[in-house]
Structure 1
Amino acid sequence: MDWNRVEGNWKQFKGKIKEQWGNRTYDDLDQFGNRCDQLEGKIQERYGLAKDRATREVDDWYSRQDDW
């Protein structure tokens, strides 16, 4: 994953992240900013997923973001 693209377009990606993981709040996203590891950790915590599953979900989500 080229997380640099996410970091460079963080404001736009926040909306897409919110669409994918509805339990996320914008406060959570602002809290950890554009750091991939913290996004994975929050998803893992919020949804009760194993770390590798959270990482896979973020990677899978990112791979579907063709328009960036």
Structure 2
Amino acid sequence: MSLFNADEMKGKWKQQVGQAKLVWGKLTEDELLEAEGREDKLAGLVQERYAITREEAEKQVKEFFGKK
């Protein structure tokens, strides 16, 4: 991933934080911003906060990003 794409992803993520907060209300805005839209980091936070399996957390994150 080029530096431009990484910066672009971070910028888009900041726009999606509000939507992510609606989906995962137990996560703080700071935690969501810190995840920077990285699926692995976000899945870890979701797994920890909601006490669900890693597989379920990854599924939720993929659905959020519109991936199957």
Task: List structure 1 segments (4+ residues) > 6 angstroms apart after TM superposition.
Answer: none
Distance 1:46 1:17 in 2: 14
Q: TM-score, normalised by structure 1?
A: 0.74
Of the candidates 41, 44, 48, which is equivalent to residue 45 of structure 1?
Answer: 48
- 1:27 Cα offset (Å): 1.4
What's the counterpart of residue 35 of structure 1?
38
Once the two structures are aligned, what percentage of the paired residues are identical? 35
Q: Which has the higher contact order (CA 8 A, sep 6+)?
A: 1
The structure with the largest alpha-carbon Rg is 2
Of the candidates 48, 56, 60, which is equivalent to residue 57 of structure 1?
Answer: 60
Aligned length: 60
SS at match of 1:23: coil
Q: TM-score, normalised by structure 2?
A: 0.74
Q: How does 1:4-43 map to 2 (within 5 A)?
A: 7=9, 8-43=11-46
RMSD of equivalent CA atoms: 2.1
